Amino acid sequence: MSLLQDQISHFLAPSRPAQNPWFGKGVADETMVWRRRIAYIDLTTKKIVAKPIPKQVRQLYLGGRGIDMYLLYNHVKPKVDPLSPENMLFVGTGLLCGVPALGSGRCDIAAKSPLTGCVGDSNIGGFFGPELRLAGFDHLVISGKTEKPAYLWISDGSIEIRDASHLWGKDTFETQEMIRDDNKDEEVKCLAIGVAGENLVRFANVRSGMKNSAGRTGMGCVMGSKNLKAIAVRGTMDIEFSHPDELLDYCKEMNDMIMNTRWARAQSKWGTLIIYSNTNTTGLIRTRNFQLNRFEEGEDLEPENMDRYTIGMSGCYGCAVHCRHRYVLRESPHAPIFAEGPEYTSLGAFGTMVDCKKMETILVANHLVNKYGLDTLETGGLIAWAMELYEKGIIDEKDTAGLKLEWGNEEAIFELIRQIAHREGFGNLLAEGFKTAIAKIGKGSDYYAIQVKGLSNLHSDERPTPSFALGIATSTRGADHLRSRPAIDLYGLPEKLLEEIYGAPVSSDYTSYEGKSRMVWWQELLYAVTDAIGVCKFQTVFCAVHAPNWEEFKTLIQLATGMGFTKAQLMEVGERIYTIERMFNLREGFSRKDDALPERYFKEPTTIGFPVVRGKTIDRDRFEKMLDEYYALHGWDENGFPKKETLERLGLDKEPSHMVREEE
Amino acid sequence: MQKILFIDPEKCSGCRICESVCSLHHEKICNPGRARIHVVKWETAGLYVPMVCQQCETPLCETVCPMHAIKRDAKTGAMLIDYDLCVGCKLCVMFCPFGGVNIDSKTGKVAKCDLCGGEPLCVKFCDPQALQYLNATTINLRKRRAAAEKFSDLMKKLLAIA
């Protein structure tokens, strides 16, 4: 393997700002953010180029998901095969990545999704993001494909493409351990894929550390298609801020602000599992794929029961909440297992959706998907769907090669997880994701698939909550709760307060359709900016009205980078990010027809739960009306295409503008 | 009575806020490698141990320093480096049994915890309270109470059997 040393690392010495060629005149000394760099890595030609990120791009897109989406739209040519070398992988750290507050270690991974064909984008916490910044890079653009397995070694301003033949076939934990051993450095942080990514499972994820995953939309599959086993970083350089003292004080304020919410306190103790108690009691959890909206025999899944296995909590970089369990499973046929998690997501994926009633099943399955590098949610969603097809007789033992896919059959689930990761037997079909599996199975199996744009939905049942339902339909990456979910809708807050937050009347009744399009629109903008600055969504208005949002982001950006934004300007950045994602999807042939819900949402009423959530379906006409309102708020026409004036207002009429380029 | 920076690794969540606030306060940048405190991790075993200068009663750093540049601060009890005297020989780094003195990766100078003049920022930011700034009596009592609880639990079990 060739060793490529980046030639301009000496420019990175932060003490010599005046010598940096891109440190233009008129830029105040405090704005160190202009000096942060993007690296272009071509795996085919082995060419590596590092460049500064232009000021204008920062102002328009901030960083993280924002700049990644800008790059995705600019660099990936229309209609490319997601698994071809022409697809590119973008890794971007948030603008505030590294500040000691709000779980600021977040990093965004993007590409055209091999699962859905639309925007592929997944966010990862943990320690990789800050380490990448400490190594001197904010963004990576990876193109091409190596002949032999390789991994990237990034350290203090230099990038090498190294041989990874010895890592091929190793699971995500072993891979990271071996890279650390190879480099004799315990502090190396990795993004790695497991065997699922190597085998091009369409929903393979990218893993970092024991717990963190960029789970959704198959970013691990894109890495696998490039023969890229891992990206390893080690950095000892400085991350500079424009107002360090004020920033320190303000970070303390932010951490206090979030820790004063009851939600954060509960999360500190039980992690995201705490959501289960509330949503299951209410009746918002899909059970047996989509047959019931509450898991009646799920006492063992209550978060308190996690106390039996947990040895303590663990946090991502810069997070005071620390919502991850470190758990040990001692007495089980699969023991001993030490792992981290599980999230609320896995609780549904391997619990409620597949009718498994034991916490232990979830702990084992969680460990398995993490080991193989599979998206927990997509895996669980597909297995649940297959189980319903098996029950309905659409598929039988012949199709599953002897696997008895009966509800709650945990051994069949573990085996199917293994098969998916290794692309064996029936797992090989599921490994293709919903779109292909539906086409191959046929026989009306699409009716049972709870997916939007080819991406599985969370185990949440949105029939009683129109705001959530609209959110999964409009999400640019397919059915997804992290694009817009206005979780505070469930709190029944006073309408006066809601109006203050959302800027117009919004109903406080979560089963109502009134004002919910505005709620979704507003949250979409907020989460786009949250991902762009690289803080954790759980530490924003996701969890409580008095949690940080626009005003706090504004101050944090000002203190960390010296960039001044008004609230309106920040919201505009959110609009810009969301609209460029939309433009990418439109270019790939997606439109209003794809902003849809599974048919069952309209046809099958809910049966149990709180009286207020019983007998609910989504009303088709009102849903379409919400969609109209939602498009109008974004400044898109009735087919979901951005209007000319919107493009001009957001400066998107010039896209693709190629402001960031590999060549001069 | 001087307070002590007390570490309870069982409570540490490994978020490394202590490292970044330490470097932000002392060096005005964020760089865990230049912080005076470091969370040593065994990730695959789930063990996190914050390591920092223990401000020893008989400090080896003070003993070995040929320039007598390390002295105790009367107010906080912290061992402080007098940079006017320090020649950067790094004997203190070599002899400290805890790795309590670190070499700044950028300046090459030695640096150590100064307890932030009596208000350690790492403690202020540590929400799980793995780092606490307490007086000796409190520490003693807490340790004893925690140990005694085990007996109390045992008594409860015995009583339940009876």
A14 touches chain B (CB under 8 A): yes
Q: Under a CB-based contact definition with an 8 Å cutoff, are residues B15 and A104 in contact?
A: no
Average pLDDT, chain B: 92
Secondary structure of B116-146 in HEC code, one letter for each residue:
HHHCCHHHHHCCCCCEEEEEHHHHHHHHHHH
DSSP A287: B
Amino acid code (one letter) for A646 = T
Tokens of A290: 């989509």
Q: What is the pLDDT of residues A185-217, one digit of tens each?
A: 999 999 999 999 999 999 999 999 999 999 999
Fold of A265-442: 1.10.569
Amino acid code (one letter) for A134 = L
Count other C-beta atoms under 10 Å from residue A22's C-beta.
14
- Residues in CB range of B134: below 8 A, 6 or more apart: B3, B4, B6, B142
Kindly list the domain boundaries of chain A, sorted by start residue.
9-234, 265-442, 466-654
The mean-pLDDT minimum among A14-18, A128-132, A210-214, A242-246 falls in A14-18
Q: Under a CB-based contact definition with an 8 Å cutoff, are residues A472 and A516 in contact?
A: no
Helix H or strand E encompassing B95? helix B91-95
Q: What is the pLDDT of residues B52-74, one digit of tens each?
A: 999 999 999 999 999 999 999 99
Q: Give the three-class secondary structure for A325.
A: strand
Tokens of A170: 């190793």
Beta-carbon separation of A14 and B24 below 8 A: no
Tokens of B36: 């005076």
| Angle (deg, nearest 10), helices A466-474 and A516-533 | 50
DSSP A351: I
Nearest by CB to A239, which of B14, B30, B124? B30
A220 touches chain B (CB under 8 A): no
Q: How far is the first Cα of chain B from the last one, in angstroms, to the nearest whole number?
A: 46
How far apart CA B134 and CA A660 sit, in angstroms, is: 52
How far apart CA A19 and CA B54 sit, in angstroms, is: 41
A16 touches chain B (CB under 8 A): no
Which candidate, A192, B25, A16, places its Cα nearest to that of B37?
A: B25
- pLDDT of A92 higher than 90: yes
Q: Under a CB-based contact definition with an 8 Å cutoff, are residues A531 and A226 in contact?
A: no
Distance from CA of A351 to the nearest CA of B (A): 25
- Search chain B and give the residue with CA nearest A316: B15
Which candidate, B114, B90, B118, places its Cα nearest to that of B102?
A: B90
Identify the pLDDT of residue A546.
86
Nearest by CB to B31, which of A210, A238, A245? A238
- Which residues in chain B have their CB less than 8 angstroms from residue A363's CB? none
- Which residues in chain B have their CB less than 8 angstroms from residue A134's CB? 31-33
- Which residues in chain A have their CB less than 8 angstroms from residue B17's CB? 100, 255, 318-320
Count other C-beta atoms under 10 Å from residue A117's C-beta.
19
Distance from CA of A315 to the nearest CA of B (A): 5
Place of tokens 């198959």: A218
Q: Under a CB-based contact definition with an 8 Å cutoff, are residues A627 and A474 in contact?
A: yes
Place of tokens 């570490």: B7
Distance from CA of A575 to the nearest CA of B (A): 31
- Which residues in chain B have their CB less than 8 angstroms from residue A255's CB? 17, 125, 127
Kindly list the domain boundaries of chain B, sorted by start residue.
3-161
- Which residues in chain B have their CB less than 8 angstroms from residue A248's CB? 21, 24-25, 121
- Which residues in chain B have their CB less than 8 angstroms from residue A98's CB? 20, 30
Beta-carbon separation of B17 and A209 below 8 A: no
Secondary structure of A34-93 in HEC code, one letter for each residue:
HHCEEEEEECCCCEEEEEECCHHHHHHHCCHHHHHHHHHHHHCCCCCCCCCCCCCEEEEE
Beta-carbon separation of B15 and A318 below 8 A: yes
Q: What is the CATH number of domain A466-654?
A: 1.10.599.10
Average pLDDT, chain A: 91
Q: Which phi and psi (to 5°) does residue A28 adopt?
A: -60, 150
Beta-carbon separation of A252 and B48 below 8 A: no
Size of chain B in residues: 162
Q: What is the CATH number of domain A9-234?
A: 3.60.9.10
Place of tokens 């924002």: A66
- Which residues in chain A have their CB less than 8 angstroms from residue B34's CB? 236, 238
B67 touches chain A (CB under 8 A): no
Helix H or strand E encompassing A574? helix A567-587
Q: What is the pLDDT of residues A471-525, one digit of tens each?
A: 999 999 999 999 999 998 998 899 999 999 999 999 999 999 999 999 999 999 9
Beta bridge partners of B134: B4
B33 touches chain A (CB under 8 A): yes
Beta-carbon separation of B29 and A315 below 8 A: no
Distance from CA of B28 to the nearest CA of A (A): 5
- pLDDT of A442 higher than 70: yes
Tokens of A10: 């000496």
Distance from CA of B157 to the nearest CA of A (A): 18
pLDDT category at A114 given cuts 50, 70, 90 is very high
| Angle (deg, nearest 10), helices A516-533 and A567-587 | 90
Amino acid code (one letter) for A658 = H
Tokens of A254: 């932010």
- pLDDT of A456 higher than 50: yes
pLDDT category at B146 given cuts 50, 70, 90 is confident
Q: Under a CB-based contact definition with an 8 Å cutoff, are residues A515 and A507 in contact?
A: yes
- In degrees, rounded to 5, the angle at the alpha carbon of residue A255 between the alpha carbons of residues A251 and A258 is 140
Whole-complex ipTM: 0.91
Q: Give the three-class secondary structure for A214.
A: strand
B24 touches chain A (CB under 8 A): yes
- Which residues in chain A have their CB less than 8 angstroms from residue B47's CB? none
- Which residues in chain A have their CB less than 8 angstroms from residue B127's CB? 255, 259, 268, 320-322
Identify the pLDDT of residue A664.
60
How far apart CA A202 and CA A224 sit, in angstroms, is: 10
The mean-pLDDT minimum among A212-216, A308-312, A381-385, A657-661 falls in A657-661
B99 touches chain A (CB under 8 A): no
- In degrees, rounded to 5, the angle at the alpha carbon of residue A444 between the alpha carbons of residues A438 and A445 is 40
Which candidate, A97, A94, A231, A236, places its Cα nearest to that of A157?
A: A236
pLDDT category at A31 given cuts 50, 70, 90 is low
Identify the pLDDT of residue B162.
58
CATH of B3-161 given 3.40.640.10, 3.40.50.300, 3.30.70.20, 3.60.150.10: 3.30.70.20
Beta-carbon separation of A241 and B33 below 8 A: no
